[in-house]
Chains A and B, each alone.
Chain A
């Protein structure tokens, strides 16, 4: 079945690193995504990783994929208050995206 889970809440101090975790169940995923949603807004694509990759780095963002354990993580280096938002992971099962439950990241000074 299709099930994507995330922890609901993460609180970090400004300047620290944030790590948001995601587990999924469908091994046929082709791409895995991280989206950011600010209050009352749509989803902003942050980054994605192809299922045959282990790691992808894009400026402050690092995505790690453990395909064996079906575990995906997003690390945000030097977290800023502007990073406060809800972060969704999503797996692409060819024709559609299955979203995780979302992790609310709160950054405090």
Chain B
């Protein structure tokens, strides 16, 4: 149980284009989903928290107009990197949790490379 998937697992795009990453909870309903970013050999940095049906809460320093988050259902959240630049290249990981449970279950990550 508690399986989270991400799609795509790897994406390469040109500078200036937009990329959408999906995060799905496969066997449970996730009232809250989180998006993290991880640079090589570094820890995870929380970008934003999204609750189903409401606007995402972004961490300080994360541009909400650049990283669009939509949590339209209890099993799906999307992160869209708009007008991507090479410095946006990173490993993006989502996680999900059930209401009343502190534990977060993580997806396998999406490697984004912007050329």
Contact = CB atoms under 8 A, between A and B. Distances in A.
Q: Is the interface of A mostly helix, strand, loop or mixed?
A: strand
A101 B49 contact: no
A69 interface: no
A90 B51 CA distance: 21
A96 B49 contact: yes
Q: How large, as a class, is the contact surface on chain A?
A: 20 to 34
Given A88-B43, A96-B46, A102-B43, A43 B111 contact: no
Nearest to B9: A40
A44 B43 contact: no
Contact of B34 (A41, A48, A96): A96
Interface string B1-30: 000101000000000000000000000000
A92 B106 contact: no
Contacts of A102: 42-43
A99 B109 contact: no
B62 interface: no
Nearest to B94: A42
Interface of A: 30-31, 33, 35, 40-45, 48, 88, 92, 94-97, 99-102
List 7 tightest A-B contacts by C-beta distance, closest first: A43-B106, A42-B108, A42-B106, A42-B109, A99-B43, A92-B102, A99-B44
Interface of B: 4, 6, 34, 42-44, 46, 49, 93, 95, 102-109, 111
